[in-house]
A and B are shown apart, each in its own frame.
Chain A
């Protein structure tokens, strides 16, 4: 009887969005909703870690960004520059040759492929029904650096405390633990923090010279597609 009229309980995503949309933001609420939904998708479908929503530029004037952007760490390297790939393949071939010499020609196929360490990426949340222009892309790139700032650095804390939704589990946690972004996902991927520790992605990747964002485009059916957009002319990868 009462169940007929009562609305179903809100979904996890709805709860996340309603719990984490700031009320005093410089950006309209719908852009925060968009960012939160993309962040949710990244965290739970693509296993990204260290997700942070940025409302202000991490660069000098710290001016507001055109819209909230997300930064995060993918489980594997998202983008390998073609020149870097050439070098990786050359190294792999060299290893294979040496292995061949050592083992007398046996098991050279076993040499595992060298995996470049993952790097933090900027994510630009968009909706497919939006109209964009070159100017708007340009403005997004004005506000960001080549590599997103480390999530553990101080300075962005208040922002992260306000906007970083880590799912329901994190909601119950104390505010002090929010700082350690990897905590919630640590349950899913216990190796995440270790890999990050042994090879800090800030240790300059010499091929990462241009700004790039991952363009995340959301459709009404919650599909999200991801495209890498570089700020400049970058030759394509030869997958």
Chain B
């Protein structure tokens, strides 16, 4: 239940993503509470309790020719285990203009998706088809079970909201040294008059969805009010759908000519990320980009592809200015080397100070 609520609340989710990606990639996984003592309770529990296991092969959603990952566990897993970062592209409805820290989904380059599929870590799911098939074939029991699950989430959410409001009020009063009054009011409230509590958190109760302002809130003692349920709009479709549908005839992702070089760098342990922002095709980091500066501005090409020398000079100049090398490379043709992975050849270009 906790993990579902985490998924449905975007702010908690964001927090969880950043904490998870930071802590897990830096291998500080053991004691989250120790590192983030001031963290809100719910996100903390979400981090602690979320099931982080990922079973391979995992699905990659193909939507409108984009390869997307929606599961935070998978996202952190491929970063830890497979040196693949991808790009978080999910914006937040509340902060649509912020683009520094985006949330899920994670978009993979076709090269990344292809690599994961080729090495058997993942498979591609055509998401539109999977949804159509999944929802149309859903049985009545499954549907009812899901609806009741959503309903109980709504009830939980309402309960948590109410509890938070009560806690806030209590803390505020305590700060003003009015704790005694609270206790008094609580005893009074338990006896008869519930209107006293209504004044404390007007803004909270304004936004609490289902409680109409006219009706008096139920007394704290009986907090298990069955009538109060938040309307929850599920933001994921797994569940209710299960990822069991795995079509084997999905073609491999189409990749550009630079794929062999991408794969080669990846096999050498480099983290390879898109490089447009740095004036190249890929940026290659010697380790996790959170810990290392990149080493190479990379452009991959065919063995016989023609390029201007001005591009080499420009790339070398650009790279040297930021302490990187400009790397061009590709699959060597007509080479005697039989090994598939061994026939990638790359040239590093740096400015010669003379």
Known: A229-B347, A236-B296. A130 touches B309 (CB 8 A): yes
Residues of A close to B347: CB separation below 8 A: 134, 137, 229-232
Known: A236-B324, A238-B323. A132 touches B352 (CB 8 A): no
Q: State the CA gap A140–B343 with chains docked (Å).
A: 17
The answer to the question of B182 belonging to the interface, with a C-beta cut-off of 8 Å to chain A, is no
The answer to the question of A237 belonging to the interface, with a C-beta cut-off of 8 Å to chain B, is yes
In the assembled complex, the CB of B280 is this many whole angstroms from the nearest CB of chain A, namely 13
In the assembled complex, the CB of A121 is this many whole angstroms from the nearest CB of chain B, namely 9
Pick from A46, A128, A232: contact of B348, CB under 8 Å: A232
The answer to the question of B328 belonging to the interface, with a C-beta cut-off of 8 Å to chain A, is yes
The answer to the question of B354 belonging to the interface, with a C-beta cut-off of 8 Å to chain A, is yes
Residues of A close to B304: CB separation below 8 A: 133-135
Counting chain B CB atoms within 10 Å of each CB, the highest count among A131, A135, A138, A236 belongs to A236
Q: State the CA gap A87–B353 with chains docked (Å).
A: 20
B309-A217 in contact (CB<8A): yes
Give the interface residue-count category, chain A: 20 to 34
Q: Which of A207-234 contact B (CB under 8 A)?
A: 214-215, 217, 225-234
A46-B351 in contact (CB<8A): no
Q: What would 30 A/B residue contacts be, using CB atoms closer than 8 Å?
A: A78-B352, A79-B352, A126-B309, A128-B308, A132-B307, A132-B312, A133-B305, A134-B304, A134-B328, A134-B329, A135-B303, A138-B303, A214-B352, A217-B313, A227-B313, A227-B349, A227-B352, A228-B351, A229-B349, A231-B345, A232-B345, A232-B346, A233-B268, A233-B327, A233-B348, A234-B325, A235-B286, A236-B295, A236-B348, A239-B320
Q: Which residues of B contact A (CB under 8 A)?
A: 265, 268, 286, 295-296, 301-310, 312-313, 316, 319-320, 323-325, 327-330, 332-333, 345-354
Given contacts A138-B303, A232-B346, 15 further A-B contacts (CB under 8 A): A74-B354, A78-B352, A131-B306, A132-B309, A133-B307, A134-B304, A134-B330, A134-B347, A135-B304, A229-B312, A230-B348, A231-B345, A233-B268, A236-B325, A239-B353
